[in-house]
Chain A
Amino acid sequence: MWKWLNSYADPERSYKLAGTLLPWFVCLAIALIGVGTTWGLLFAPMDYQQGDSFRIIYIHVPAASMSMAAYMGMATASFIGIVWQIKAADWAAASIAPIGAVITFIALFTGAAWGKPMWGTWWVWDARLTSELVLLFLYLGVIALYASFEDKVLAARAAGILAIVGVVNIPIIKYSVDWWSSLHQPATIKITEKSTMTGDMLYPLIINIFGFGMMIGAITLVRFRAEVLARNGMRPWVRALATQEVSK
C-alpha cells in the first residue's frame, strides 16, 4: 500500500495520473453544478420569509464550505510535503492556494450581497465573518510566501508551515456561530440531526456542494499539471512531451 502510494511521488507518474483523472472531475463538476444550480435557481420553492433572495445560498454555502475543505486539502498536502519531503505534495498545495482564495472571496462576496437586503448591512465584525476573512488572508499569505522565494523547495517549506499553522482557523470558522453570539445564522445542513431545511430546497444545495468540490478538484488538477511541468522543465520526459506536442 505504502509502496504503491509512494510511486506517485514521482512527478511523471503523478502528472499522468492527474491527466487521467481530469476529464472525470470536469464532467462531474459540469453535470453536478448544472443540475444543482438549475434546480436551485429555477425549480426550488422560495423561502417563506426571504422570498427569492434566499437562492444565493446555492452559491454561497457551497463556496464557503469548499473554501474550508480546500484549505484542509492544502494543509494536508503541505503536511505530507514537509514530513515526507515529497515535492509533488508541495506542488499540489501550491496549486490549491489560489483556487481556495478565489472561492473564499466568492463566499464573502455573495454573503455580503445577501446581507445587505436581509440583515441591513454589508458587513459586520462578528465571529463567523471575521474568521472567514482571516481564511482569505491565510490563503493570500500562502500564495505570497510561495511566490517570494526563487528556490521553490524553500518556498514550499515556508508556505507549508503557514498553511499548517492556519488549520486552527478551520474549527473556529465552523463553530464560531455556536460558541459566540453572532449575526450569522447557525448551520442549516446538519450531519447528525435533521437539517432545518425542507428536502426540495436541500437536495439542489447538496448537489451543488459536491459540484463545487469537483470543480475545485478539476482546477487543482490543471494547475498541478502546469506546476509539475514548470518545476521539471529540464527533465527528459518533459522535453520528450514538449517535442511530441510540437510535432503534432
Chain B
Amino acid sequence: MNPRRKKRLTLAVALIAGVAAVASLLLYALNSNLNLFYTPYEIVNGKNDTGVKPEIGQRIRVGGMVTMGSMKRDPNSLHVEFAVHDSAGGEITVTYDDLLPDLFREGQGIVAQGVLVESGKLEASEVLAKHDENYMPPEVAEAMGQKHEKLDYPEQKSTEGYQY
C-alpha cells in the first residue's frame, strides 16, 4: 500500500475509533438517564446505581407488569386503579382516568406517565401498553397456557330510549 493511502487509512480508522470512544463514554455517563421509565422497585428503594428516589410531586414514568387481580374499576366513571410490580419485588399503585390501550390486561407490561402523588402511588395521565417480543398464533398460546383474555368490562345498564 502506498504511503498516502496508508495515511488516509490510519486517519479514517482513528476517526472511527475516536467517535466510538466519545459515544461510548457519553452513553456510559448518561446511562441511567436514557431509561424510559423507573421500575416500581426503583421508586420505592431508589435507583440501582445512584440511589436517587423520585420526589413526591415529580412527573415520572413507571414501567412494570400489571399485578393479577389488582384491577379496580369505578362503575360510574373511567377511573381505574391497579398495581404495577416488577421482578425485583417492588410494587406501586397507579390510578388513571382515561381509556386504556387495547393491549392492556392484567399480567401485561405497561408504561404509565404521571405524577407521584404519595410514595407508592402514581396518578397517571397516560398509560401505554408495552408489547413483548413473543408472537404466536392463538392456538399455540392456548397450548402454552398463555391465554390472555381481554379485560371483562361490566355490562352497561341499557339507557332507556337509546337505540342504535
Contacts and interface: CB of A to CB of B under 8 A. Distances in A.
Interface of A: 45-50, 54, 57, 79, 82-85, 117-121, 124-127, 161, 164-165, 167-168, 172, 179-183, 185-188, 196-198, 200-201
B23 A49 contact: no
Contact of B137 (A82, A165, A179, A198): A198
The 6 A-B pairs with the shortest beta carbon distances in the complex, nearest first, are A120-B101, A45-B137, A48-B141, A197-B135, A126-B36, A168-B23
A9 to B, nearest CB: 13
Interface string B80-105: 00000000000000000000111100
Given A49-B131, A196-B134, 9 more contacts: A47-B136, A48-B148, A85-B8, A118-B102, A168-B19, A179-B31, A180-B35, A181-B35, A186-B132
Contacts of B128: 119-121, 124, 183
B130 A185 contact: yes
B34 to A, nearest CB: 5
Given A84-B5, A167-B16, A198 B136 contact: yes
Interface in B17-50: 19-20, 23, 27, 31, 34-37, 39
A54 B103 CA distance: 12
19 contacts: A47-B138, A48-B138, A48-B147, A83-B12, A85-B8, A119-B103, A119-B130, A120-B102, A120-B126, A124-B111, A127-B36, A164-B15, A165-B16, A180-B35, A181-B37, A185-B131, A186-B132, A186-B133, A198-B135
Interface residues of B, number: 42
B36 A161 contact: no
Given A83-B9, A201-B137, A183 B127 contact: no
B76 interface: no
Given A185-B131, A187-B133, A119 B5 contact: no
Contacts of A165: 15-16, 19
Contacts of A168: 16, 19-20, 23
A126 to B, nearest CB: 4
Contacts of A119: 101, 103, 128-131
Interface string B116-150: 00000000001111111111111111100011100
B63 interface: yes
Contact of B129 (A118, A164, A167, A201): A118
A49 B148 contact: yes
B138 A45 contact: yes
Contact of B136 (A84, A186, A201): A201
A28 to B, nearest CB: 26
B146 A188 contact: no
A181 B63 contact: yes
A120 B128 CA distance: 5
A196 B144 CA distance: 13
Given A120-B128, A126-B36, A182-B36, A188 B23 contact: no
